[in-house]
Amino acid sequence: MCIAVPMQILSVDGTMATIGVEGLEQRASLALVPDAGVGDWVLVHAGYAINILAADDAQETLSLLAELGEWGAQDDPDADVG
């Protein structure tokens, strides 16, 4: 139940944001992180960003997931979310 994934804020509209990582995009509420903005990395749980992560901290979690083979769209050309 405490699953939470680092994702990056791609765009904001009101209190909602489009967040993405490795080609996956989702909508999440920023109600719990009022200071977050585009480009910030956030931890997402149950459709809400629950805190802001430093970029290298987010990358560290993603790298750990990748090392475990739990992740891995790095060589997927479609994973480029722009």
Partner 1 sequence: MRTSAEALRGLAADLAAEAGPGGTFMEVCGTHTMAIARYGLRELLPPGVRLVSGPGCPVCVTAMRDLDTVVALCGLPGMTIATFGDLVRVPASRASLAEARAAGADVRVVYSPLDAVELAAADPTREVVFVGIGFETTAPTTAAAVVEARQRGVRNFSILALHKTMPLALKALLELGETPIRGFLLPGHVSVITGSECFAFLAADHGVGGVVAGFQPSDILEALLMLVRQTAPAVDNQYTRAVQPQGNPAAQALMDRVFEPCDADWRGLGLIPGSGLRLRAELADHDAAVRFPVDAGEPLEPAGCRCGDVLRGVTDPAECPLFGRRCRPEAPVGACMVSSEGACAARYRYRGLDD
Partner 2 sequence: MTEPGGERILLGHGSGGRLYRDLVNDVFVTAFANPVLDRLDDAAVLASSGRIAVTTDSHVVRPLRFPGGDIGRLSVAGTVNDLATAAARPLALAAAFVIEEGLPLDELRALCASMASTAEEAGVDVVTGDTKVVERGACDGVFITTTGVGEVVVQHDLGAGSVCDGDAVLLSGEIGAHAVAVLAARGEFHFRTPVESDSAPLWRLVEAAVAAAGPGLRFLRDPTRGGLTTVLAELAEESGLGLEIEEEAIPVAPGVHAVCELLGLDPLTLANEGKMVLVTAPEAADAVLDALRGAPYGAGAVRIGSVTAAHGGRVALRTRLGTRRVLDMPVGELLPRIC
Beta bridge partners of residue 12, listed in sequence order: 17
| Binding string, residues 6-45; x marks residues near partner 2 by CB under 8 A | ---------------xxxxxxx----------------x-
Cα gap 14→2, rounded to integer Å: 26
Cα gap 41→38, rounded to integer Å: 9
Compute the least distance from the CB of residue 3 to partner 1, in Å: 6
Name the residue nearer to partner 1 (CB basis): 1 or 77.
1
| Binding string, residues 22-61; x marks residues near partner 1 by CB under 8 A | -------x-xxxxx-------x-xxxx-xx-xx--xx-xx
Phi–psi pair at 46, nearest 5 degrees: 50, 40
